[in-house]
Chain A
Amino acid sequence: GAVVSQHPSRVICKSGTSVKIECRSLDFQATTMFWYRQFPKQSLMLMATSNEGSKATYEQGVEKDKFLINHASLTLSTLTVTSAHPEDSSFYICSARKGPNEQFFGPGTRLTVL
């Protein structure tokens, strides 16, 4: 199988603080991971592509200084939401690429910024 985990599953933080979300591929190595954001009743919007050992590639309109991505190993990518504000509240989902045509998704992290 191919299992991707995310931690934490839910986080509530105060405005102005930073939050780190971890994405792990548990039983395979992933040189490429993806971070998505999902708004209520909407589709997934790709935020960035995380590449092991190199800088992430951000989609147009995504602030790289606000959403810091680190892919330090073949099984772990982290997304840090810096100086979070209520408008950053969302469901964040990661995926890990296994093979040329497959992505396996994590269960998601619900971020609520008060």
Chain B
Amino acid sequence: GNSVTQMEGPVTLSEEAFLTINCTYTATGYPSLFWYVQYPGEGLQLLLKATKADDKGSNKGFEATYRKETTSFHLEKGSVQVSDSAVYFCALSGGGATNKLIFGTGTLLAVQP
């Protein structure tokens, strides 16, 4: 079945450091891929998405490229801020009638001043 694997956290960085959170997936067909962010005590917010191979999703300085050959969708940001501290979830949607989302386990990012 479909699944998502993302790097375990926590990831602790200093402000302005470069961020990479790895995400790989297993899926049949051509899933859509997503990164969601969850701030403390809140629900999930869509950060970015890509719906086909080689697409690059970007938002708020974050980027991720849909790599079919490596089945990956790594999240990157060139310079993190304290306000980026949150839990980041990689997810895929296999399509179909209900479009269920399958989530990775989440990665806690802590950015220190």
A: residues with CB less than 8 A from B are 4, 6, 32, 34, 41-44, 46, 49, 57, 93, 95, 97, 100-108
Contact = CB atoms under 8 A, between A and B. Distances in A.
Contact of B42 (A41, A101, A107): A107
A105 B108 CA distance: 19
Main secondary structure of the interface of A (DSSP, over half): strand
B32 A101 contact: yes
Interface string B41-60: 11111100101000000000
Contacts of B105: 42-43
A105 B47 CA distance: 12
Contact of B106 (A43, A46, A100, A104): A43
A34 B43 contact: no
Nearest to A57: B98
A98 to B, nearest CB: 11
11 contacts: A4-B43, A34-B101, A42-B105, A42-B106, A43-B103, A46-B102, A100-B95, A102-B46, A103-B101, A104-B46, A108-B42
Contact of B89 (A44, A46, A103, A108): A44
A101 B93 contact: yes
A31 to B, nearest CB: 10
Contacts of A106: 43
A46 B101 CA distance: 8
Contact of A49 (B41, B44, B100): B100
B102 to A, nearest CB: 8
A49 to B, nearest CB: 5
